[in-house]
Amino acid sequence: MNAPLVCVVDDDDAVRLSIGLLVETLGFPVRCFAGALDLLADGEALEGAHCLVLDVRMPGLSGVGLQERLGRLGSVIPIIFVSAHGDVPMVARAMREGAFDFLQKPFNEQVLLDRVHEAVQVAGRRRAEAAWQQAFRGRLDALTVREREVLDGMTAGRLNKQIAEDLGISMKTVEQHRARVMEKLQVESLAELVAHVIRAARTQEGAWGG
């Protein structure tokens, strides 16, 4: 697995270099960009990024504009804003869009390092969860229509007899479908199954299979 990448985006050459060198002391690889559009054009950097350190006001596309665009793309990369322009509306907008933090220049270097380190850890957890969600939804997609109907009954707390009556099939058939559901979803118990379905629903409400 590649080391977590940190991307620094600032149109001020001196600031960009300074932040890049500072973050490198954490041992993470760093990529620096002079503008938001430059970062967007680098798919490899976006794929590997575990944290973005962005200036707020930049020509072409602002830091908050980049944040909003990444959000529309479904990005889960934590973003730390650093700017001399710490006006309340800008901070509120960034935080509302899910910014990890907002530091005003001149900032305490150790505070930035601590926040970057925390952001990288958060990104790791987010990526792991996204991978789990994708895998579980893939397993849900593998269920047949009847298996999904049985799954609905199982997660609703219905007994096999009740599911059989609901679907107009025999209890033996319900038991067979139930066993296949458990096997396909790779769970060992009903409690584990329900927990997984609830977990999946947190990020895709009401849409188990996509």
Lowest average pLDDT, out of 17-26, 74-83, 197-206, goes to 197-206
Asked if 151 contacts 158 with a C-beta cutoff of 8 angstroms, the reply is no
CA 8/CA 157 separation, integer angstroms: 50
Tokens 């188990």 belong to 208
102 alpha-carbon distance from chain centroid? 19
Do strands 30-33 and 79-83 pair parallel, antiparallel, or not at all (unpaired)?
unpaired
Question: What percent of the chain is modeled with pLDDT above 70?
Answer: 94
Residue 85 has what pLDDT?
A: 66
Cα 199 to Cα 82, 111, 129, 181, 186: the distances in Å are: 34, 33, 10, 17, 15
Residue 206 has what pLDDT?
A: 39
Residue 62 has what pLDDT?
A: 87
| Structure tokens that stand for 82 in this block | 């650093």
110 alpha-carbon distance from chain centroid? 26
| Structure tokens that stand for 109 in this block | 């270097």
CA 25/CA 114 separation, integer angstroms: 12
Residue 210 has what pLDDT?
A: 34
Q: Which residues contact 3 (CB under 8 A, 6 or more apart)?
A: 27, 28, 29
For 35-91, write each residue's pLDDT tens digit: 999 999 999 999 999 999 999 888 899 888 999 999 888 888 999 998 876 666 777
CA angle 100, 101, 103 (to 5 degrees): 155
CA 137/CA 200 separation, integer angstroms: 8
- How many Cβ atoms from other residues are within 10 Å of residue 182's Cβ? 17
For 141-158, write each residue's pLDDT tens digit: 999 999 999 999 999 999
Task: Determine the 3-state secondary structure of 31 from DSSP.
Answer: strand
Domains of the chain as residue ranges with CATH: 5-130 (3.40.50.2300), 142-203 (1.10.10.10)
145 alpha-carbon distance from chain centroid? 29
183-206 average pLDDT score: 85
Mean of the per-residue pLDDT values of the chain: 90
Q: Is the pLDDT of residue 12 over 50?
A: yes
| Structure tokens that stand for 123 in this block | 């990104």
Q: How many helices (H) and strands (E) does the chain have?
A: 10, 5
